[in-house]
Chain A
């Protein structure tokens, strides 16, 4: 049995002996280890007071960056949101604004 180095411990010091064959990743949820939200140039903002919890927004998010808990959406997961703006387009209540991200 091959013992894989856990994804959380893989970094640029890993040797060819330890690296997973073919670059395969034998565990789930590893996107949590990476901040891909920093690719973003545009950003959506959640205005909770205007939200009716219709939940039209979360299924259209291509990056699963709108967490839903107990039937209610929460604020954006900015660690993974790429700022595509699809959620802003579908929101019927103006509960999502969309603009240039200030860094």
Chain B
């Protein structure tokens, strides 16, 4: 029997780490992820885990600590947000290219500036090309479930890439909700031990990690890493299927919500999907053919699957909770539109950058977006593609 509890997203992730009992945590506090190492250090102090907790002096060191531990043959975890992730930037690439399956709990927060501690996705979206797997969570349950699946996916021999489990700062990380926890023994059995084939402390076969790579070899290493990211799609599906058998909770690369016969749809990531589902339900109750796709995996990006899922929809709004400053839309939009290119019935598509720095997104905000999609269908043209939602002086959904 699963355990019914009430936990915040941060508590849920710290609890998952306790059940997994990793070998090393290297961490430095930063709002809103601070509670994860804080709670976990209490588990360490109480002897509930035998993890080596390394309180480092910066996030660059936190990730470097994880790299060393993982290369040595241990299972290493960390948690961070915003500027902390930005400070890890250099070593995120080292972790991925050295093919070290480290687990990072990313509690999404805006990047400066102006200084802001609230939620958006600009931190992890900025690291989208670093070679890390990225799974996004809608609520505390998903943050917990994704964390239980993280190591199985990352450590798989066909993958061997580090993984970021993302949840929305404050909205998910600090809000207490009901949650179903998996029993300790089942978690231990499901996650298992980290058993790399080669590692630094394997004394019978010495290993070198992270050597200098000259031009005749570098590109082959990059292609091998790119293939690992492609392989990850199937591994995510396989591990998720096994997780569903254990818990009854099913996850894919993305979730389709009321997409059957949908003529208008939005594509969205994270906690706002919960708000958007309510908007979809209300509109469906009025007989409107609307639906939603919530991306779970952003890295690897489910290009073919998403393209197929949106094929035949008349108009789509892609919601970006980060401003990519590309002058033509956010990162989710760019990749979603690319996924639809070449589909036989590609939808008309617009982008809404929304919710930056914790700007509230309400049911009315999403309904406003669906109204714009209706206009687009009636006019037969998208008009401005790159839009911002709920900004004074621009498009504002009311209140």
Contacts and interface: CB of A to CB of B under 8 A. Distances in A.
Interface string A21-37: 11111111010000000
B329 to A, nearest CB: 32
Interface stretch (B20-28, B203-211, B344-352): B203-211
Contacts of A15: 220
Consensus secondary structure, chain A interface: loop
B250 interface: no
Given A21-B160, A22-B100, A24-B98, 4 more contacts: A16-B224, A22-B221, A25-B211, A26-B207
A8 interface: no
Given A23-B213, A24-B208, A28-B206, A14 B98 contact: no
17 contacts: A1-B197, A12-B216, A12-B217, A14-B220, A16-B219, A21-B221, A22-B97, A22-B100, A22-B210, A23-B221, A24-B99, A24-B208, A24-B210, A24-B211, A25-B207, A26-B205, A28-B205
A17 B226 CA distance: 11
A7 to B, nearest CB: 10
B223 A16 contact: yes
Contacts, number: 58
A103 interface: no
Interface string A1-16: 1100000000010111
Top 4 A-B pairs, shortest CB-CB distance: A28-B206, A25-B208, A22-B99, A16-B220
Contacts of A21: 99, 160, 221, 224-225, 228
A97 B140 CA distance: 71
Contacts of B198: 24, 26
B220 A22 contact: no
Interface residues of B, number: 26
A17 B373 CA distance: 46
Nearest to B200: A24
Contacts of B98: 22, 24
B192 interface: no
A96 B157 CA distance: 52
A19 interface: yes
A39 B196 CA distance: 36
Nearest to B208: A25
Given A12-B216, A16-B220, A16-B223, A22 B197 contact: no
A21 B219 CA distance: 12
A30 B208 CA distance: 10
A2 B97 CA distance: 18
Nearest to A28: B206
Interface in B215-272: 216-217, 219-221, 223-225, 227-228
A31 B228 CA distance: 29
Contacts of A30: 208
A1 B210 CA distance: 21
Contacts of A14: 217, 220
Contacts of A16: 219-221, 223-224, 227
Nearest to A24: B209
A17 B224 CA distance: 7
Contacts of A28: 205-206
